[in-house]
Amino acid sequence: MKARTRFAPSPTGYMHIGNLRTALYEYLIAKSGGGDFLLRIEDTDQKRYVEGATDIIYSTLKTVGMNWDEGPDIGGNYGPYVQSERKPIYAEYAHKLVELGGAHYCFCAPKEESEDDEAEENAVPAKFQDPCKRLSLEEARARIAAGEPFTVRQTINKKGKSRFHDEVYGDIEIDYDDLDEGVLLKTDGFPTYNFANVIDDHLMEITHVVRGNEYISSTPKYNLIYETFGWTPPVYVHVPQVMKDAQHKLSKRNGDASFQDLVAKGYLPEAILNYIALLGWNPGDDREIFSLSELEKAFSVERLNKSPAIFDIVKLTWMNGCYIRELSAEDFHRLALPYYQKCLTRSLDLAALSKVLQPRIETLADIAAQTDFLEQLPDYDLALFENKKMKTDRDIANNALRLVAALLPQVEPWSNENLFEQLKKLAADNGLKNGQVLYPVRIALSGRETTSGGATELAAILGREESLARINVALQRLGEQG
């Protein structure tokens, strides 16, 4: 059987890490077996709809390379793929379910309906004893014909335990008495999540459903709907939540980063996707770096974990650094340019700067902190010129910088490689060690004890005029103190 999976997000804002991981696992289940991956927009909760959120969903999936085979923008044989465009379908099946005894009409106050709907959306059981359940179908239809507002609620008459299998958690039993008879169709004609996803998954011939393990307790309610209609349920794949720590789940509401936030902080989409693949799945060996195509080949449902996954920003940052170092020089420079434009205004050799930074940063956002001294020389402490390891003090630094200042106007070509050879020769000709020349130059050019680049790399980036100007500043300050 060819797998058909769907990613069915609600357009309520940014793409949360947990949502993106669900999409990835759905995608990998489909693609690892040559199946189809569908995109369906679940916008039935109009109160939470955010303008532009659907575009964010499209953009995020395309950015990470998870292209869908069917969806709102490209169509398919099972559309529409936007739930608000499927209202007549839900109404038809809701009334059929009532006729089959799997649901009943409810005329309770909107307040109760609203509270129930909120519980459904958050996968939190909220027991509701519905007096309308005792109404006959004829009486209920008469009240509807009279114009009375109504909802359709699920009817749960079964006793004992519901039993079903999950690919991650195995065989599960849940007592029918623990299930709430929740709203399936609201007064405005929109379905709740618990009804719409069952109808759509069946009609779209979805074979595997991936969702968070908080929905395990609701699965018997879905299965009752499948059973009443005589349909076969999909394969269930419930995954543990992505956690901030052992007690708190990752949540945008609590200030935790979304996919868009991480990209804005300089993380590469490919690295983010690679990292979240490992939040609940492992390949069975020590390998950690995977492209999306490699994940398609390596992924298997059997290696999904039951334990909650802790989002470790330190691990993601390390992985991002690995991805940055694997970029071509051209690709890194292209990605770095917007960051240079934000923090640098002076004329610099940006290609040379990219060559220096690429092996030394972990996120693109590191660029600002690594380059601020290039924009403006800081007011540094002259004690930086004193370094036992380099065997320098202020007098040695003063002498070395005078020699360098005399040499630099004649250096051609002005490149890191040539500057390095010229300064090494200068040191040898004057009885100095390389570090006794290069270290003072680096301090004079940067005003920092540590920098991403060495002395001649910084000189190549700053250019001849600015390099000489900074060395002369150092000489003036050393002379004044001397």
Active-site positions read 252
Closest CA to 419 of 428, 409, 411, 429: 411
Q: Is the bond into 11 cis (omega within 30 degrees of 0)?
A: no
Q: Is the bond into 80 cis (omega within 30 degrees of 0)?
A: yes
Q: Enumerate the β-bridge partners of residue 162.
A: 174
Integer Cα distance of 444 and 475 in angstroms: 9
Tokens in use for 77?
A: 């044989």
Listed in sequence order, the residues at least 6 apart from 402 whose beta carbon sits closer than 8 Å to its beta carbon are 475
Unique residue bearing structure tokens 């005589």: 230
Q: Enumerate the β-bridge partners of residue 103.
A: 154
Integer Cα distance of 86 and 117 in angstroms: 19
Which one-letter amino acid corresponds to residue 436?
A: Q
Integer Cα distance of 166 and 235 in angstroms: 7
Q: Which contacts (CB < 8 Å, 24+ apart) does range 198-204 have?
A: 198/222, 198/225, 198/226, 199/89, 199/90, 199/93, 200/6, 200/8, 200/40, 200/83, 200/86, 201/6, 201/234, 202/226, 202/229, 202/231, 203/78, 203/89, 204/4, 204/6, 204/38, 204/40, 204/78
Integer Cα distance of 178 and 209 in angstroms: 23
Count Cα atoms within 13 angstroms, Cβ side, for 113: 22
Closest CA to 207 of 241, 235, 169: 235
Listed in sequence order, the residues at least 6 apart from 236 whose beta carbon sits closer than 8 Å to its beta carbon are 164, 165, 166, 167, 209, 219
Residue 243 has phi, psi (to 5 degrees) of -105, 145
Say if strands 36-39 and 4-7 run parallel, antiparallel, or are unpaired. Answer: parallel
Q: Enumerate the β-bridge partners of residue 281.
A: 304
Listed in sequence order, the residues at least 6 apart from 255 whose beta carbon sits closer than 8 Å to its beta carbon are none
Question: Exposed, middle or buried: residue 368 (CB in 10 Å: 0-12, 13-18, 19+)?
Answer: middle
